Amino acid sequence: MKIEFVAAPLAASTSPIAYLVVQDKLPGSLNPVVLQSAKASRFTGKTGQLHESFVSRDGAVVRLALAGSGDGGAKDRLASLERAGAAVTAKFIASGETTVTIDLSDAGLTAHQAAAVVLGARLRGWRYDKYRTKLATDQQASLTTIRIAGAPDGTEAAWQTEAALADGVELTRELVTEPANIIYPESFVERVRPRAEAVGLKVRVLDDAEMAKLGMGALLGVAQGSRRAARLLVLEWTGGAAGTKPTAFVGKGVTFDTGGISIKPAAGMEDMKWDMGGAGAVAGAMIAIAGRKAAANIVGICGLVENMPDGNAQRPGDVVTSMSGQTIEVINTDAEGRLVLCDCITWVQQEYQPTAIVDLATLTGAILISLGHEQAGIFSNDNTLAGQLIAAGNVSGDKLWRMPLGAAYDKLIDSPIADMKNVGPREGGSITAAQFIQRYVNKGTPWAHLDIAGMAWSAKPGATWEKGATGYGVRVLDQFVRDNLEG
């Protein structure tokens, strides 16, 4: 979606024009016909509400829209403004119009608030119709340009920061949306590499031979049933003080998960192309952070494998040795994400000695039972880090709910023949998964695990996304960096 900034007024414009309306404050300056039609349709300016009308200007009929921006004094004002911008895009995305103008000249916004409107409008415009060759004309996206008129001073500069964030979210959505025959470990790397290098990220890739030499038996055990070679993608940003240890973001990147020998049911298995949503979020967050030149040192790690059930696949009951030297009895080959993460976490600690680690993974179905599709679960060994991430989630909209950890849960993954087993009982499944990962975090290192299984993909449209890939995870990581790691 192209964003253009233009001056107001727009009397000569024939493309649709949208105006923001604060809840219960319909401006009296509106065209009387528009005002009356809005009242008749019970439009009040609630967040996300939209009213469309038509007026005659200089002999031409012009489409007008009123976008509700909610309570002007609400604490979540930025989120409401995003939803207002998104509502405009949602209305016109397949309308036949190629351009829509959002007029902010009388909206009374700050530059930061105006940028939020633009961000919502752009994010809601993302679609991936690459493989749809017979889409009906009235369903095809027509909108290509959003013009922002009358924006307050400083909006274009504020937008440059948010545009980098949008770039990251859109990359994550693209990676998560692509099918597994297109995005697999090697192609994931090659899809991300040029974009990462373009924004100044240092890119490093470990192949399966290098990982084998390092002793990554847990990660490679997952990959051994696939013809697709595993990869470890490293994205490094050094925008902070020289010599300062980085914060590490680690993502589970299972590009397709059949469950391995513990194979999943056929129904719904196609969804497992998005089991790399954690790695996708890390890649997108690194693009956003580098794109806006964040004053922080961050390293992103994507552990990339495909979990397939061929004759070389690991079996339930196999014992593998992780890079840390700890041994794992593989009870269920469908509990593979934690096997990927544990070696990634060991490696990043040895290589970078990070000040904190945040991992993201579409890890367990159990987290959906607990939290549904409303927020992701967060598990942490550090109250400060957990609080910072939860706060960042509340601001960004990528919400998190803290879940427990403890010795009683930890003992549930003890194995009679190895240091641990990769699953516990059915009860508390997301908790025992987090306990497993925690066993690989060095003592004294702040760590948080985000189980995003219910958030990476949506079966219905949201405020700022079409149904499908949401881009979840990028915004909470970026906000965490803004709030806690920069200047």
DSSP one-letter string for 315-381: -TT-EEE-TTS-EEE-S-TT--HHHHHHHHHHHHHHHH--SEEEEEE---THHHHHHTTT-EEEEES
Residues 252 and 337: beta-carbon distance below 8 Å = yes
Separation of alpha carbons 152 and 234, rounded Å: 39
Q: What is the pLDDT along the chain (487 residues), one digit of tens a residue?
A: 999 999 876 665 678 999 999 999 998 888 888 999 999 999 999 999 999 999 887 778 889 999 999 998 878 899 999 999 999 999 999 999 999 999 999 899 999 999 999 999 999 999 999 999 999 998 999 999 999 999 999 999 999 999 999 999 999 999 999 999 999 999 999 999 999 999 999 999 999 999 999 999 999 999 999 999 999 999 999 999 999 999 999 999 999 999 999 999 999 999 999 999 999 999 999 999 999 999 999 999 999 999 999 999 999 999 999 999 999 999 999 999 999 999 999 999 999 999 999 999 999 999 999 999 999 999 999 999 999 999 999 999 999 999 999 999 999 999 999 999 999 999 999 999 999 999 999 999 999 999 999 999 999 999 999 999 999 999 999 999 999 999 7
Angle between helices 337-352 and 429-438 (to 10 degrees): 30
- Eight-class DSSP state of 94: T
Domains and CATH numbers, the chain: 2-153 (3.40.220.10), 163-484 (3.40.630.10)
User: Of 212, 201, 166, 180, whose CA–CA distance to 276 is shortest?
Assistant: 180
- Residue 19's φ and ψ, nearest 5 degrees, are -120, 140
Separation of alpha carbons 284 and 481, rounded Å: 14
Separation of alpha carbons 206 and 208, rounded Å: 7
Helices (H), 443-487: 474-484
User: Which tokens is 192 given?
Assistant: 């991300």
Q: Which of 57, 264, 402, 439 is catalytic?
A: 264
- Eight-class DSSP state of 100: E
**Beta partners for 203?**
235
What is the pTM (predicted TM-score) of this model? 0.96
Q: Where are the beta strands (DSSP E) in 240-341?
A: 247-257, 297-307, 319-321, 327-329
**Beta partners for 62?**
55
Determine the residue type at 473: G
Phi-psi region of 256 (alpha: psi -120 to 50; beta: other; left: phi over 0): beta
**Beta partners for 254?**
305
CA distances from 143 to 86, 88, 96, 148 (A): 13, 11, 7, 14
Determine the residue type at 414: D
**Beta partners for 68?**
21
Separation of alpha carbons 171 and 192, rounded Å: 8
Residues 419 and 328: beta-carbon distance below 8 Å = yes
Residue 264 appears among annotated catalytic residues: yes
Could you write out the three-class secondary structure of 105-154?
CCCCCCHHHHHHHHHHHHHHCCCCCCCCCCCCHHHCCCCCEEEEECCCCC
Q: Which of 122, 173, 228, 338 is catalytic?
A: 338
